[in-house]
Structure 1
């Protein structure tokens, strides 16, 4: 593996993917960011097994490869780099650098990081986007902004730790409550494709990533499986587990 990337592109990719990396990982590999270099781009991915985030950024790839490197150390290194091309290379010339480490060079700075075998990194959930729909990121972000502040942060009723997203034939409704206050917003459903009617309970952390990662004018592809929901555009993806259980009847 060998590639060169601008400091700005590296920082952008790390900031997005590291947002999904847990502070205390149940599995050691979850402390890493998966870096996949191929063609003219590098895709950086992070997950806590509940939320999966990935972002593709431009790079000059001379040797394709994939490696899992520690997120915290990558972030620390990226903050002290000069404004110059950043070069990554497997120290032993392999495709993943898992055993010998990965050398990082930028200007006069040189680092070597050791990660884990990339095949230990969890796969993203399998979701069929052919059965999904498209909608404006700005429309979705407005729904999130107007409701997410009311979500519960207490553990006594876990179902209220999620935001309810109701999909209906002609409208979409988003609801959040902590049992004392309630926020609700509905919009006519202006989408391409026809999502099946559903009540989806989504972790706020996942919707926060949708707010941060996608420009408002982005056309989002949205799809779901029985247990997961996914958002994607040409260069970035957010997948999340859904919270199981019935949401309280907020209209009573």
Structure 2
């Protein structure tokens, strides 16, 4: 195998596939990046058996020559060393050649590295996914769906199913839900799907975080293919496979209250900043990071926190409107700040159904997104 390649594109592809490589793998070949050169271009693959990423660099794109193939072939190179080497090469063009079976030479300008390669035949094949049921979503919407839900997955392995995000596909609608049983994030979006198939799957939160890092912010569509135990995301020159979590995701629809006793409309940014300030003194004590929230006269909300050994903070914020009963409630400042950062829009509506019941936060005039938080007992 021998080819030359643009260094910038090489670095980008290597960084993308590195996101699938685990330093703790027990399978030696999976510490490597598989490189395959064909007459069409060069493919780079990384995998940890849960997530597999393939990045393809075509011979040319938009009239620019990116790769010149002299001899097709394949090799697996130690990811840790290969990724460090390509970042530090001196020139814009890199030449990679396999000599003496697996010995690999990497040249750029006056710099030359020799790396011991591994046998590409031993590298596991990417899952073969039949692509009958493909649906498409613009990349920027996929990124938003992930960003607005994945933060609410559980980090505890006691209920593994909650470490993933539940994706439900039904009649050209995708609904994504994440919960750690103290809070819930939900976002739905219309999808381009001609099939009548229904899906109810759980994607590991870790996989979605990695996918979000390597997708570009464009409105180009991402093709998504779901099988029994795998999901494939296909973007331009990129394949991202993830295994799915096994088990049934809990029915979260019954957690979402249908009526409310107190409704508050408030400026998102002002509210977020007030919660942030109140949380400064709420980090210690019996209920760490808990702030108190109460309604006062003429649309004013009081946000406070009190840690006897540190001090207390009280702040009043003017809401746009308060309807319904007076309210005193306590909740996690972190959960509230996470939820507010995920929402879009200048104003939000918070709907409460009592001091010890879950409450809902939504942007004004947008039914596609919802955040739910369980209060904390302090009053």
TM-score range, shorter chain: over 0.9
- In the TM superposition, what are the counterparts of 1:1-252 in structure 2 within 5 Å? 1-57=1-57, 58-92=66-100, 97-98=101-102, 101-187=103-189, 189-194=190-195, 196-215=197-216, 216-252=218-254
Segments ≥4 residues shifted beyond 4 Å: none
Contact 2:172–2:193, Cα closer than 8 Å, also in 1: no
TM-score, with structure 1 as normaliser: 0.92
Specify the structure having the higher radius of gyration (Cα): 2
Q: 1: CA distance between counterparts of 2:146 and 2:10?
A: 28
Change in Cα spacing, 1:119 to 1:251, as seen in structure 2 (3 Å) is same
Question: Is contact 2:8-2:92 (8 Å) kept?
Answer: no
TM-score, L = length of structure 2: 0.62
**Runs of 5+ consecutive residues of structure 1 not aligned to the other structure:** none
Counterpart secondary structure, 1:201: strand
Aligned-residue offset at 1:124: 0.8
Counterpart CA distance in 2 for 1:174 and 1:203 is 12
1:147 and 1:226, CA in 2 relative to 1: closer, same or farther beyond 3 A?
Answer: same
Q: Once the two structures are superposed, what CA deviation does each residue of 1:150-190 show, in whole Å capped at 9, x if it has no partner?
A: 11111111111111111111421101111111111122x23
The structure with the largest strand share of the pair is 2
8 A contact 1:129–1:221 mirrored in 2? no
Distance 2:199 2:221 in 1: 21
Distance (whole Å) between structure 2 residues aligned to residue 228 and residue 183 of structure 1? 23
Most deviating of 79-88 and 21-30: 79-88
**Residues in 2 aligned to 1:250 and 1:151: alpha-carbon distance in whole angstroms:** 13
Shift of 1:195: 6.0
- Specify the SS of the correspondent of 1:102: strand
When structure 1 is superposed on structure 2, of 21-30 and 135-144 the one drifting more is: 135-144
Mark the runs of 5 or more structure 2 residues left unpaired by the alignment.
58-65, 255-379
Alpha-carbon distance between aligned partners in 2 of 1:195 and 1:86, rounded to the nearest angstrom: 48
- In structure 1, the partner of 2:350 is none
Q: Is the 8 A contact 1:206 1:238 kept in 2?
A: no
Q: Take 2:182 and 2:82, find their aligned partners in 1: how far apart are those partners? A: 42
1:66-112 Cα distance to aligned partner (Å, 9 max, x none):
111100001110121113311101122xxxx42xx100011111111
Q: Secondary structure at the match of 1:130?
A: coil
Shift of 1:192: 4.2
Partner of 2:303 in structure 1? none
Take 1:209 and 1:141, find their aligned partners in 2: how far apart are those partners?
11
RMSD over equivalenced CA pairs, Å: 1.4
1:146 and 1:183 in contact (8 A); partners too: yes
